[in-house]
Amino acid sequence: MAVKTEPLFLNLGPVHPSTHGVFRMRALVDGEVITDIEPVFGYLHRGIEKLAESKSYRQFLPLTDRLDYVSSMNNNMAYVMAVEKLAGIEVPQRAEYIRVIMAELQRIIAHLLAIGSFFNDMGTFFTPFFYMFIQKEKITDLFEMVCGQRLLYNYMRFGGVSHDLPPEFIPALTRFLDEMPAEIKKYERLLAENEIVLARSKNVGVLTREMAVNASAAGPVLRASGVDWDIRKVDPYSIYDRFDFDVPTGANGDCYDRYRVRVEELTQSLNIIRQAVNGLPKGKVLNPVPLRFRPPAGEVYSHIEGNKGELGFHVISDGSDKPYRIHVRAPSFINLTALKNMLIGWKLADAIIIFGSIDICLGEVDR
């Protein structure tokens, strides 16, 4: 006998550990089944893009750290590349290699935290998360060697990077590169064929190839739906065209595929870093730029393959020492637009897992 239920609006967030920040889902449920959902943004009120208009180009650089704050190196890189493109600034080859090393180390950090928190949402109660956090801290130690910071690095500069690598960096990085493959195998033994993981993530929250493309999804969310699209390959920037690496893709576009793509990208990032270390040239790491330089009037758009997808900066200059306008193409915000299609028809318990599989940071959603 069917139980008669009444539709009910239920709020998840904006302050809830499973919403990964001040994000709110206003769900219409029939029993436990989600029949409609409204994602609600805007609780953070950061105003970073507007702040750019009152700061010099260099003064705005530290604010990019605070967009996706587990992707600070990549945020720095995307912004300085846009300004360098606008102003015609050249970057020394050694600095380009260092940038790639830092960007891929940051990608590993972001994916480790994404995978660990995804399984935490599934109810593993921190065991995988802490396994991955151990390796994340080793990379953080490497970043601290270079720039003295452990979260918000402010390391990139127009024309290069702020500091050269200290003598102890490459030996420590090499040890990490040697140890990490065994750690990835440990994660695989623990998680890849776990029957609870398979039951709760396989064929759950499916985002079809067509829906992913129509939503302009990017990064692991897009590639898990079977779309072979990585800006490092299709529109190479910096020196990525010098490296040999694969672009992992999924087949079903479900929560499990999004997890698998991130795990496989860990190995690819290690591969890129090894090649960059082996090819690291000698020389200077910075072409100095005046503190309050004035790029010529004009506008540019520059993008990179960020940890969560395409991270782009649209910069408009009026010839002064401050940007006239800056707009950030933030992958967390774009990927969230597909959330409704992924959630309708699933139960509330599934909603937490599906949302966690997207991997967002509210810092770059509410800019």
Query: Alpha-carbon distance 274 to 279, whole Å?
Result: 9
Q: 192 is written with which tokens?
A: 């890849």
Tokens 């695989």 label which residue? 188
- The pLDDT value given to residue 17: 67
Of 258, 240, 237, which is closest to residue 249 (Cα–Cα)?
258
| pLDDT tens, per residue, the chain with 367 residues | 667 778 899 988 787 666 777 889 899 999 899 999 998 888 888 899 999 999 999 999 999 999 998 999 999 999 999 999 999 999 999 999 999 999 999 999 999 999 999 999 888 878 899 999 999 999 999 999 999 999 999 999 999 999 999 999 999 999 999 999 999 999 999 999 999 999 999 999 999 999 999 999 999 999 999 999 999 999 999 999 999 999 999 999 999 999 999 999 999 999 999 999 999 999 999 999 998 899 999 999 999 999 999 999 999 999 999 999 999 999 999 999 999 999 999 999 999 999 999 999 988 998 7
Domains located in the chain, CATH noted: 7-362 (1.10.645.10)
Backbone φ/ψ region at 126: left (φ over 0), alpha (ψ -120 to 50), beta: left
DSSP strand pairing (7-12 vs 298-305): unpaired
Q: What is the DSSP letter of 12?
A: E
Distances (CA, A) of 308 to 3, 205, 226, 265: 42, 18, 16, 12
Query: Alpha-carbon distance 69 to 46, whole Å?
Result: 13
For 326, phi and psi rounded to 5 degrees? -135, 130
Query: What number of residues does the chain have?
Result: 367
Respond yes or no on whether the N-terminal peptide bond of residue 288 is cis (omega within 30° of 0).
no
245 alpha carbon, distance to own chain's centre: 19
- The pLDDT value given to residue 198: 94
Query: Alpha-carbon distance 322 to 225, whole Å?
Result: 40
Alpha-carbon torsion angle 56, 57, 58, 61, nearest 10: 120
Of 321, 157, 171, 301, which is closest to residue 237 (Cα–Cα)?
301
The answer to whether 112 touches 136, Cβ cutoff 8 Å, is: yes
- Helices within 188-287 (DSSP H only): 195-201, 209-214, 219-223, 231-234, 255-278
The answer to whether 137 touches 150, Cβ cutoff 8 Å, is: no
- Which is it for the CA torsion 144, 146, 149, 155, positive or negative? negative
The answer to whether 236 touches 253, Cβ cutoff 8 Å, is: no
DSSP string, 82-124: HHHHHHT----HHHHHHHHHHHHHHHHHHHHHHHHHHHHHTT-
For 329, phi and psi rounded to 5 degrees? -90, 95
Query: Alpha-carbon distance 75 to 103, whole Å?
Result: 9
Query: Alpha-carbon distance 342 to 354, whole Å?
Result: 7
The answer to whether 206 touches 200, Cβ cutoff 8 Å, is: no
Beta partners for 317? 298, 323
Query: Alpha-carbon distance 351 to 80, whole Å?
Result: 37
